[in-house]
């Protein structure tokens, strides 16, 4: 990365841009950070200067890209990092878009988590909105993302901003944008907002109010909790024991309050992970999907023998579940939790005459939900990955994606919500406990009725993002004719789009035995993701069908690990 600046003129241009950034930066911390880096770039130690130049070049490789997930990146100085300059310009661009397309005096509700600078970025956003003639309403304290998504509709706001990096590493932060329907932005709004951001010449040119925004109080949180509890049957059983971890995020207090309001016993919390901590000290990666992330919760479960373990990610929009099995405690796959919630919604919550009857899943999630919907005579939908798409499905009753995201109350929160999903899981487990059954027995019953739908996934992490494009180009130029010894019956380039799906970067393969494989770049992390599913009818022993599904997945995975090697 140092080569573009190896010549004196290129290096001089980089230094000049960095100095201009320092002059524009209102944050003394990041100003000093960049000044120190400039000193190293111009130092006499050639090796250190080269290393510093590479760092500086990366920071100025371009403005942090604003897309359908808003902004997300590492904290630090420079346009390719999360900092006050980037956030102020983003807020100004968002306001310009809203004033042009929505309302000359738009209302924006702003939430934030407990990561480093989240409160600062929220305050800057409120200052920009207010100075631009809008009405800014700020959540009272660090709160889960679902509370912000709820607040947009509850307060009739034109847009919402949530400052969070969700389950990313501690050094990251992010800026998630919602429009007034409570859904995350989708094309072309993302490109329009990005264009307005690009038109902002500097942070110093953006007026900042010093007061005038509204700080909301706990009545909003109480309203959210009441709405979340509304997903439950008020006459349903409440006897259940749960271990919960918030993974150092902001979900613990709101979840406990919701469980109390619903009449459930208070969960037993993993105390070392219950308080918000931006360093996430007890986990290598604060994502319940990652190996080891919920080990502390499983250890507590071994001691207390609860009915179920529930984990939220740091901003509590995702919900993970672990259950006891023949080999001890183990996490359920996201598709298994989606099947459980879908089973419950179909059985107890859908009125066929109502306006909300559609069951939706993302393209990388199991096809089981669609099969269950068809068996119940209900409509189903398949969307692109992300709740920016799932939450927009007309007449949605329930939607999910395999990455632990579940929408169980789309009329109130048309986004993934780890709090209301946890409540519904508790309701399911309490009902099964009364019947002397377990969630694993329900999953067995669904497999016997609809066939084993076994899923697997793996990721290829990269340092150089261009390698992802290289792999995708290779697969397109030389498409596989078979995978795992089975012929590829149909290959689809998702970038071409279809009558049912907008274009998205990815490839989908259906094999002759109905096994499915999808290869796509991650939307939020530097990695290529591969999703697999095998479907095997249960004609004899359930264990035999599961073994055959596992065999098929292993064979296909082995081939794709080779084909996606960087």
Question: Are the beta carbons of 144 and 92 closer than 8 angstroms?
Answer: no
And the tokens for 344? Answer: 């419950």
Please say if 166 is a catalytic residue: yes
For residue 212, count other CB atoms closer than 10 A to its CB.
12
Closest C-alpha among 366, 387, 379 to residue 443: 366
Strands, E, within 264-342: which ranges? 268-269, 308-312, 319-325, 328-331
Closest C-alpha among 280, 221, 231, 275 to residue 252: 275
And the tokens for 523? Answer: 């939307």
Strands, E, within 344-395: which ranges? 358-362, 380-383
Residue 505 backbone dihedrals phi, psi, to 5 degrees: -70, 120
Exposed (0-12), middle (13-18) or buried (19+): which is 528, by Cβ within 10 Å? buried
Cα-Cα-Cα-Cα torsion 43, 48, 52, 55, nearest 10 degrees, comes to 180
Evaluate the omega torsion of the peptide bond into residue 236 and state whether it is cis, within 30 degrees of 0. no
Please list the alpha-helical segments (H only) found in 362-506: 368-375, 387-390, 418-435, 439-450, 466-477
Residues pairing with 71 in the sheet: 175
Question: Which one from 166, 183, 241, 252 is the annotated catalytic residue?
Answer: 166
Catalytic residues: 166
């Amino acid at each position: 990365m140092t080569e573009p600046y190896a010549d004196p003129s290129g290096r001089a241009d980089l230094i000049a841009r960095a100095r201009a950034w320092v002059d524009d930066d209102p944050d003394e911390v990041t100003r000093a950070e960049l000044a120190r880096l400039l000193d190293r770039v111009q130092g006499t130690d050639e090796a250190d200067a080269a290393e510093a130049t590479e760092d500086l070049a990366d920071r100025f490789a371009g403005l942090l890209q604003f897309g359908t997930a808003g902004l997300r990146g590492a904290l630090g100085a420079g346009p390719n990092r999360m900092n006050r300059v980037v956030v102020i310009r983003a807020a100004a661009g968002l306001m310009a878009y809203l004033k042009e397309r929505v309302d000359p005096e738009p209302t924006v509700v702003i939430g934030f988590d407990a990561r480093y600078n989240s409160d600062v970025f929220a305050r800057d956003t409120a200052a920009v909105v207010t100075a631009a003639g809008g009405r800014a309403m700020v959540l009272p304290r660090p709160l889960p993302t679902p509370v912000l998504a709820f607040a947009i509709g509850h307060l009739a706001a034109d847009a919402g901003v949530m400052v969070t990096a969700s389950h990313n590493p501690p050094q990251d932060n992010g800026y998630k944008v919602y429009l007034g329907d409570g859904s995350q932005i989708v094309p072309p709004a993302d490109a329009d907002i990005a264009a307005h951001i690009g038109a902002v010449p500097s942070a110093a040119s953006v007026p900042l109010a010093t007061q005038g925004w509204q700080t909301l109080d706990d009545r909003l949180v109480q309203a959210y909790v009441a709405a979340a509890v509304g997903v439950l049957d008020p006459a349903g059983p409440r006897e259940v024991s749960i271990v919960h971890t918030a993974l150092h995020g902001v979900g613990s207090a709101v979840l406990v309050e919701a469980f109390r309001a619903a009449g459930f016993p208070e969960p037993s919390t993993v105390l070392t992970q219950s308080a918000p901590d931006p360093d996430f000290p007890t986990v290598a990666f604060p994502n319940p999907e990652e190996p080891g992330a919920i080990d502390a919760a499983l250890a507590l479960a071994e001691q207390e023998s609860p009915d179920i373990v529930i984990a939220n990610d740091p901003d509590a929009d995702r919900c993970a579940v672990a259950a006891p099995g023949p080999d001890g405690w183990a996490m359920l796959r996201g598709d298994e939790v989606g099947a459980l919630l879908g089973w419950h919604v179909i059985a107890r919550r859908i009125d066929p005459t109502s306006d909300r009857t559609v069951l939706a899943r993302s393209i990388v999630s199991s096809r089981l939900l669609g099969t269950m919907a068809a068996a119940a005579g209900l409509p189903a939908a398949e969307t692109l990955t992300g709740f920016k798409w799932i939450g927009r499905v007309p007449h949605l009753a329930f939607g999910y994606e395999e990455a632990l995201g579940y929408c169980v109350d789309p009329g109130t929160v048309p986004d993934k919500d780890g709090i209301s999903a946890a409540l519904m899981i508790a309701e399911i487990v309490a009902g099964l406990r009364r019947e002397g059954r377990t969630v694993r027995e329900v999953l067995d019953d669904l497999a016997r009725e609809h066939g084993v739908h076994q899923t697997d996934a793996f990721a290829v992490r990269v340092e150089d993002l261009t390698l992802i494009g290289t792999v995708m180009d290779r697969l397109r130029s030389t498409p596989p004719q078979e995978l795992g010894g089975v012929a590829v019956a149909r290959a689809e380039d998702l970038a071409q789009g279809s009558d049912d799906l907008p274009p998205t970067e990815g490839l989908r393969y259906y094999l002759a035995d109905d096994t499915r494989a999808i290869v796509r770049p991650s939307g939020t992390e530097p990695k290529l993701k591969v999703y697999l599913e095998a479907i095997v009818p249960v004609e004899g022993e359930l264990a035999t069908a599961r073994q055959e599904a596992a065999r098929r997945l292993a064979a296909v995975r082995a081939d794709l690990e080779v084909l996606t090697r960087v």
